[in-house]
Structure 1
Amino acid sequence: MTEPPAKRGKSRSGTPKSDGSAPGRSDSPVTRAAVLDAALAIIDSDGVEGLSMRRLADKVGRDPMVIYRHVPNKAAVLDGVAEIIIAKLSVDPTAADWDAQLRAVARDFRELALAHPRVVPLLVTRPLATPLGLRPPSVVRPLEDMLALLTRAGFSGADALHIYRALFGFLYGHVLNELQEVVERPDETDEVLRLGLHRLPISEFPLLRELAPLLAAYDGAAELERGLDILLTGLSAALPGPA
C-alpha cells in the first residue's frame, strides 16, 4: 500500500500556499549577497543590458517578489554590483611608502576591471549617482583609507583629496581605454589597417599614422605603469608634503 502524497498547506481560498520559490528550484534561503552575486554573473556574461529583474529571479531560483524584498529595483541591483566589486579594493592606510601603496591600488583596480569588463561602466558611473554619505561603507572605505595614508605621509587633507581624485580619474580613463583596445581590435595584420587609420587623410593626421605600430602594440600593464610614473611623480613634485 502506497502512502498518499504529503499535503501542502492551503490558503483560505483553497489554493496551495507559495513559498516564493519557482518549481524545482532550490529552497535555500535567499540573501542580498546571493542576489547581487547572481546579478554580477549575469552582467559578466551578457552585460548590463542582459540584466532584468525577471532574469535575476530565474538565476536565483525564486519568484521575482522574493528578489524585490532584497533589492527594490534594477537601479539598486546595479548599485549593489558596483558595491561588491569596489569592496574588493583595499588600501593599507598604515603603509610606509605612499607611492608604492597607490601603485598597488592602481594595479588591483586594473585587475578587477579586466576580470569584470562589463561591470566597468558601473564602477565609473554608479558611485557618482549617490551622495557620498549615502553610499555603503564598503564603497567609501577606500577613500577614507587613502586619505589616511596620504595625510600620514605628510600631505594636507585638501592635497590628499586632490591626489585621490587625480588617481581615480586616471584609472577610470585607463581601464576604459584598455578595454576598448581589447574588445574592439579588428583582425587585420597591418597596423594602419587594423586601427582604421587608412581612412584618415595622411596630410592631416601624420603623427597618428607614424605612431600606428605603437598604438597597435597596446600593453595595458605597461601603459598603467607609465601613467602612474607621470601622475604620481608630478603630484609629488607639485604638492607640498613628503619629500
Structure 2
Amino acid sequence: MDASPAGRALQEEAEPHPDGKLTRERMLACALEIVDRDGVEKLSMRALARALGRDPMSLYRHADNKAALLDGIAETVLAQLTVDPTDPDWVAQLRAVAHRFRHLALTHPHVVPLLVTRPLATPLALRPRGTLRPLEDILALLTRAGFTGADALHIYRALFGFLHGHVLNELQEIVENPDETDDLLRLGLHRLPIKEFPHLRGLATTLATYDGTAELERGLDILLTGLTTTTPAT
C-alpha cells in the first residue's frame, strides 16, 4: 500500500462518495493528484477510474476523452490564478499575477506542459471557460487602466509568453554533478569547447546560482518597463 501523502489522498478518493455521485470536480481533483505524483504519461481513463473506485465508462459523462481530461486539469490549476481587475496599479497587479503563476508552476511542475501546450491545441472559443478567466480579468484590468483592447491583449500575450518560458527554464535540471565544487564541472559546461562557447562557459557561476524569484523580477522589470514605454495607456 502506498503510504505517501499522495498515495493516501488517492486511497481516500477511491472510497465511495457520501452521496454516491461522481462529480466533474472530484474527478479532476483526482486526475491532478495522479499527474502531480506520476506525471501526465501515467494518467489514463482506466487509471483514473481505478483511483476513484469507479467503472471507466462512468468517467465519460464528465470528459469525452483524455484530451478533455487534460483540458480539465489545466482549467483546475488555472482556476487558482487570481487576478484583481479593479486594482488601480496595473503594473503591481501583473507582478502579483506573475508570482502566483510561478507558484502554481512550482507546485504542479508536471502540469506546466499542459498549461503551455493545451491552449495551442484548442481554438480560443472552445477552451474550458476556466482557462479563459485570467485572460478576461487581465483584459478588464488593462482596459480599466486606459489601454485599448488590442494593446491589452498584446500585453497579456507578452506577459504569458515570458512566464511560460521562465517556468520551463526554471524547472529544468541545471546541475549535472551537485557534488562538484567547481561551477563549470557542476553544470557539465567543461564539455563545451572553450573557443566555441567562451561566453556560456564564462557564465558558469551565474548559471549555478540561479534564483528563480530574482530572475522573474528582473524579467518583469524589462518586460513591464518596455510595455509601459511602447504601449502607454490613454
TM (norm. structure 2) is 0.89
1:74 equivalent in structure 2: 66
1:52 to 2:47 alignment: no
Instruction: Supply the distance in 2 between the matched residues of 1:149 and 1:63 (Cα, whole angstroms).
Output: 44
How far does residue 25 in structure 1 lie from its aligned partner after superposition?
Answer: 5.0
Shift of 1:187: 2.2
SS of residue paired to 2:172:
helix
Return the index of the structure with the highest Cα Rg.
Answer: 1
CA RMSD of aligned residues (A): 1.5
Deviates more, 1:165-174 or 1:63-72: 63-72
| Aligned counterpart, 2:16 | 26
> Which stretch shifts more, 144-153 or 226-235?
144-153
User: SS of 1:33's equivalent?
Assistant: helix
Alignment correspondent of 2:135: 143
1:180 partner SS? coil
Shift of 1:130: 1.5
**Distance in 2 between residues matched to 1:119 and 1:186, nearest whole Å:** 27
The answer on whether the counterparts of 1:185 and 1:195 sit within 8 Å (CA) in structure 2 is: yes
Corresponding residue number in structure 2 for 1:201: 193
Deviations 1:147-199 (A, max 9, x none): 111111111111111100000000000000000046x6542422111211111
Instruction: Check the 8 A contact 2:176/2:188 in 1, yes or no.
Output: no
Between stretches 66-75 and 221-230, larger displacement belongs to 66-75
Q: Can you give the 5+ residue segments of structure 1 that lack an aligned partner in the other structure? A: 1-23
2:183/2:204 contact within 8 Å kept? yes
| 1:231 aligned onto 2:223 | yes
The TM-score normalised by the length of structure 1 is: 0.86
Secondary structure of the 1:69 match is: coil
Q: Which residue of 2 aligns with 1:11?
A: none
Mapping 1:42-191, distance limit 5 Å: 42-181=34-173, 185-189=176-180, 190-191=182-183
What is the number of equivalent residue pairs in this alignment? 218
CA–CA separation in structure 2 for the residues paired with 1:72 and 1:132: 19
Deviation, structure 1 residue 235: 0.8
Q: Distance in 1 between matches of 2:186 and 2:229?
A: 39
Q: Is 1:219 the equivalent of 2:205?
A: no
SS in 2 for 1:82: helix
Matched, 1:38 2:33: no
Measured after TM superposition, the shift of residue 209 of structure 1 is: 1.4
Contact conserved, 1:57 with 1:64, CA < 8 A, in 2?
A: yes
Whole-angstrom distance in 2 between the partners of 1:185 and 1:91: 37
Q: Does 1:210 align with 2:207?
A: no
Q: Deviations over 1:9-30 (max 9, x none)?
A: xxxxxxxxxxxxxxx9525321
> Kindly, what percent of the aligned residue pairs are identical?
68
